[in-house]
Amino acid sequence: SFLYLSISSGSRTSINTRVYSYDCNVYPTKLDIMFDINEIDYMNDNYAWAKDPDAKFISDDDDQYGSTYDLLYNKNTGYKTILVVFDGIPKPAQMAHEAFHVMNGIFKEVDLEFNYNKNTGNEHLAYIIEWAVKCMCDAIEKEKKCKKKTK
């Protein structure tokens, strides 16, 4: 996994937008994590839905929890991407909630299914959720360091 700071020179995009990006080594997708739900212009400039590239992100004043957007691609790189946007640093329950959505997004993208067989334990699901939480923890640590530097 790796981190990149994505800074757009576009007039509508904040120069302080930070995006933490991670490769999923098992499935062909990336996980991008942001900590500012107000960066709608940045999101529209840099991400699009594969099945509806003209659709736009909109501000949702009722959602102060966080959001996971799947079946996206990054307009700059062309990579399949799942975008998680938190409203600041999330609490563990928020991370668990969004990690489930990350797993679900990956499974939709690669057309995998939940296995209802009682003997499997669905380890493949657990490993993806674990990976997503590890990415979120890493992004949180990096975000905290960036915020300390800008104070």
pLDDT at position 119, please? Answer: 74
Q: Check: CB of residue 45 under 8 Å from CB of residue 27.
A: no
Q: Check: CB of residue 56 under 8 Å from CB of residue 42.
A: no
| Residue 138: φ, ψ to 5° | -65, -45
Which residue(s) pair with 32 in the sheet? 21, 83
pLDDT at position 136, please? Answer: 97
pLDDT at position 16, please? Answer: 74
Q: What is the pLDDT along the chain (151 residues), one digit of tens a residue?
A: 333 344 333 333 445 789 999 999 888 899 999 999 889 999 999 999 999 999 999 887 766 678 999 999 999 999 999 999 999 999 999 999 999 999 999 988 887 777 767 777 788 888 999 999 999 999 999 999 887 776 5
Q: Check: CB of residue 105 under 8 Å from CB of residue 50.
A: no
CA dist 51 → 40, 67, 104, 113, 116 (Å): 19, 19, 17, 20, 29
**pTM of the entire predicted model:** 0.85
pLDDT at position 64, please? Answer: 65
How far apart are the C-alpha atoms of 132 and 30, rounded to whole Å? 10
